[in-house]
Amino acid sequence: MKDDADAFTQELRLKFGAKSNSERQREYRRRQLESNLTQRLDLRIDAGVYKQLNELAQRKGLTKREILEQLIKSGRACK
């Protein structure tokens, strides 16, 4: 929680240019939007399927995004 009366922390932040998590996230999202290389996908799926996706990703050492992209590109997702 940010304390506006905490002059020391504010001074350090100004001195070292530290960014808050929300500032870093805002910049990341802005860069992603500007790049036009990716699109954001928000969805809800069955809890059991989500668990399987997590297990598959961990077993393969990949991210959930990588698993989904591979499935879709291979065409196996629609069989």
34-77 pLDDT tens trace: 888 888 899 999 999 999 999 999 999 999 999 999 999 998 76
In Å, how far are 5, 19, 27 from 22, measured between CA atoms? Answer: 20, 8, 9
% residues pLDDT > 90 (the chain): 51
pTM over 0.95: no
Residue 15 pLDDT > 80: no
Q: Which amino acid, 20?
A: S
Check: CB of residue 57 under 8 Å from CB of residue 64.
Answer: yes
Residue 35 phi, psi dihedral angles, 5° rounding: -75, -30
- Alpha-helix residue ranges (DSSP H) falling in 1-79: 7-16, 21-35, 47-60, 64-74
